[in-house]
Amino acid sequence: MSVQIIVGAQWGDEGKGKIVDHLSHSADIVARYQGGANAGHTVILPPARKGEPDAEFVLHLIPSGIFHPKVTCVIGNGVVIDPAALMNEINQLRSAGIKINGRLLISHNAHLIMPYHKLLDSAREQGEQKIGTTGRGIGPAYIDKYNRIGIRVVDLLDRDTLSKKLRLNIEEKNQILSKIYGSKKLDVDEIISEYQEFDKLIDEYVTDTSRFLAEALRRKKKILAEGAQGALLDVDHGTYPYVTSSSPTSGGACTGLGLPPTAISSIMGVAKAYCTRVGHGPFPTELENEIGERMRTIGGEFGATTGRPRRCGWIDLVSLRYSIRVNGIQKLAITKLDVLDDFGEINVCTAYLVDGKRMDEFPTDVPTLERVVPVYETFKGWKMKTTNARKFSDLPLKAQSYVRALRKRLKTEISMVSVGPRRDQTLFVR
Ligand code: IMP
């Protein structure tokens, strides 16, 4: 059995896209298991012709294995699909010469994002319960899924069912929306015909992906399960309520793809050499100062989906140890090490203090997390460019020591280090 899960070990934006693209070299299938178009997985490809610039793609729904022609990409049942965003992505990839047909499979059980989900998402963000969502309708879509009134991909294939389900949903949502937006109401017939159009576009990709994956396992195929967001945004294990509405942690891969836990062979976590967060919620090592600003500028820390500036801070080993435990992470990929190249001193949070008492476990309750004071260990910066390193031993000794120190303190193998967005800026650690 070979299913490797790739999870974000922080608050998302760890660079999973690049790592999944890299690992796709030796995979047969890459399958996304949760989230929706709130994710933005960036992959940089070498230029098609000499002298041309690198090509940058930001994937929101399609798995990051799509750039490897032999890889089949699966959007699992745990994903919530915005059909318009998906079609957009398919068209963009096609116009860049990437073949999609026969290589993309969409679960018939995945739920759909509807226009009212986005309206409800942004309405909530106007009020006191706002948490800084991406506004992509994710929370309201998962609410409908768990309320058993969601509309699934399979519904698109049967016009009568679709129209009946949509009518009931829209009538109910219109009542809620008219309370919020006054007279603003959704037109039932307009939405029905818009979504019925998706049926034609999506039809060729739809299948029972759980069955497809089971058959692939039987034939000894290698599967990568790609998570979106990060463990600390998990609806169960994250910093609730400042979380997303799905399960980015490794457990979500089984339910989100219809794979049994016994099929999982390894779990890799991806973490930045520092830490970022978008949206509201506690962030113990956040640097609301000139150092944080520098990290944001050097690291280009602006949301790949919304363009929002990301909050930046030092790496937090308390939360990472928690993430390693909850996900069962066996190996880590450390990304964006190069962003720290110019810092004279680099801090690593090794514990928290709460009311003067040391705390080594990550508290997931927000009031405690908001009160913790990070305990830092300071490392001397290497003050040298690492972007040209092609093997771990090319790194300045102080950068090597930093990575080794993380490994020692996390008691977890670090198998990859990334020193830039390009494919060749990936180092394997032995
Ligand atoms: P939602 O997933 O749009 O409902 O947003 C809930 C929280 O998760 C917000 O704080 C978002 O900023 C955050 N979030 C959602 N998707 C991502 C992501 O891909 N990267 C980082 N943060 C995310």
- The pLDDT tens digits of the residues spanning 273-325 come to 999 999 999 999 999 999 999 999 999 999 988 899 999 999 999 999 999 99
DSSP 35: B
Is 41 known to be catalytic?
Answer: yes
Q: Quick check: helix, strand or coil at residue 108?
A: coil
Say yes or no: domain 111-205 is CATH 3.40.50.1820: no
Q: Where are the domains of the chain?
A: 3-107+208-428, 111-205
- Write down the catalytic residue from 41, 60, 68, 117: 41
Residues 248 and 271: their CA atoms lie apart, in Å, by: 14
375 Cα: distance to centroid of ligand 1 (angstroms): 27
Structure tokens at 384: 């040298």
Chain center to CA of 179: 33
**Does the beta carbon of 138 lie inside 6 Å of ligand 1?**
yes
pLDDT for position 184:
65
Residue 395 in 3-state DSSP? coil
Element (H, E) at 225: strand 223-226
Contact criterion met (CB below 8 Å) for 268 and 333: yes
Nearest ligand 1 atom to alpha carbon 233? 8
Task: Choose which CATH entry (3.40.440.10, 3.40.630.10, 3.40.1360.10, 3.40.250.10) describes domain 3-107+208-428.
Answer: 3.40.440.10
395 CB neighbour count, 10 Å cutoff = 22
pTM: 0.96
pLDDT at residue number 87 = 94
User: So what's the pLDDT on residue 252?
Assistant: 98
- Residue segments in the chain with a per-residue pLDDT below the cut of 50: none
Q: What is the pLDDT of residue 158?
A: 85
Class of residue 88 by CB neighbours under 10 A (exposed 0-12, middle 13-18, buried 19+): middle
Q: Does any ligand 1 atom lie closer than 6 A to the CB of residue 410?
A: no
Supply the pLDDT for residue 197: 86
pLDDT of residue 33: 98
Distance 306 CA to ligand 1 centre (A): 10
